[in-house]
Amino acid sequence: MHAMLPLLNQLSFPPLRRGHLEALQVNLTYRCNQRCLHCHVNAGPTRTESMSDETLAILHQVIDAHPVHTLDLTGGAPELHPRFRELVSHGRREGLRVIDRCNLTILSEPGQADLGSFLAAQGVEITASLPCYSRENVDRQRGDGVFDASIQGLRQLNALGYGQAGSGLILNLVYNPQGPSLPPPQAQLEADYKQHLSDEFGIQFDHLLTITNQPIARFGSTLVSKGQFAAYMQLLRDSYRAENLDGLMCRSLVSVDWQGYLYDCDFNQMLDLPLQLIGRDRAHLRDLLSSELDGNPIVTRDHCYACTAGQGSSCGGALG
């Protein structure tokens, strides 16, 4: 059982409003073949939450009717949803940029032998978690054997053209700090990753995205159990930079949970802080067929400081 997390303040973070909606980030399932320490979703092999056919049908309607240009698929391991490939194909037919947030080890799971080939054929952008280029650090954070399986997955993707110049197949890696600290400068860490992975394993990729760990869910519980929660929150507040506010992902992205409910970001989803829409108790996917979100107030709490601290943090990496 996770330690009880302190309540997050809703008063001190600056008020924010939405811009134009550009991306849907859809959490298809909490089921995952891994159970990582930093996971803000508390995903794992025993989770059963999964988007229903009825909700998927509404999602398809939104894709057809709404002028969003990015479909960002996450989980858990989104590939474990039985209709993942159908949704990917639909999004690509409609001309959307489709991102698969892939943990790499899923590529070697039973029944997924052709997953990489499918993603390549569809031109899906892969954003893959690799929190370090050290076997010891990765296995400590994500489980024994994960590093070797991740390297195997990256080699498979490279062989399909991912991360190769001129292929058009984008492969990004994601870095999360090992503990209660901010990520190092993204550009320098990307250079280190590229040199090490190329020299040691012959692996190529496009960009490294650094993401600050959120003080919620599994990581937040670890902080509490080690007596580090208050100090980490103070670090995030002390590192606040107002210039990061304009680039926050919540201004242009909506997070959709497995039941179809809407949130300003994936982190608010995990804290059960729903997107506020006038006339709705809980905004749902179907509301996107009739409602505009431009100018809508964004629900904030103190965990939002993680996205504005230092160089900033988003699902697309550092902000500045």
Two tokens, residue 190: 């990307």
Tens-digit pLDDT profile for residues 198-245: 999 999 999 999 999 999 887 888 899 999 999 999 999 999 999 999
Looking at the chain, list the stretches that DSSP marks H as alpha helix, in order from N- to C-terminal side.
53-65, 84-93, 115-122, 135-142, 146-159, 186-201, 217-225, 229-238, 266-270, 305-308
On the question of pLDDT at 3 being above 90, the answer is no
Query: pTM for this structure?
Result: 0.91
In the chain, what are the domain boundaries? 19-308
Distance CA 276, CA 264 (A): 9
The pLDDT value given to residue 153: 95
Secondary structure of 244-289 as H, E, C letters: HHHHCHHHCEEEECCCCEEECCHHHHHCCCECCCCCCCCCEHHHHH
The burial of 200, by beta-carbon neighbours within 10 Å (0-12 exposed, 13-18 middle, 19 or more buried), is given as: exposed
Span of 43-52, 151-160, 283-292 with lowest mean pLDDT? 43-52
Which residue, 54, 56, 27, 24, is CA-closest to 43?
27
Mean pLDDT, rounded, for 147-152: 91
Mean pLDDT, rounded, for 4-9: 57
Distance CA 230, CA 172 (A): 32
Distance CA 214, CA 234 (A): 13
Q: Which CATH class is domain 19-308?
A: alpha beta
Task: List the end-to-end C-alpha distance of the chain, in Å, as a whole number.
Answer: 37
Mean pLDDT, rounded, for 97-107: 95
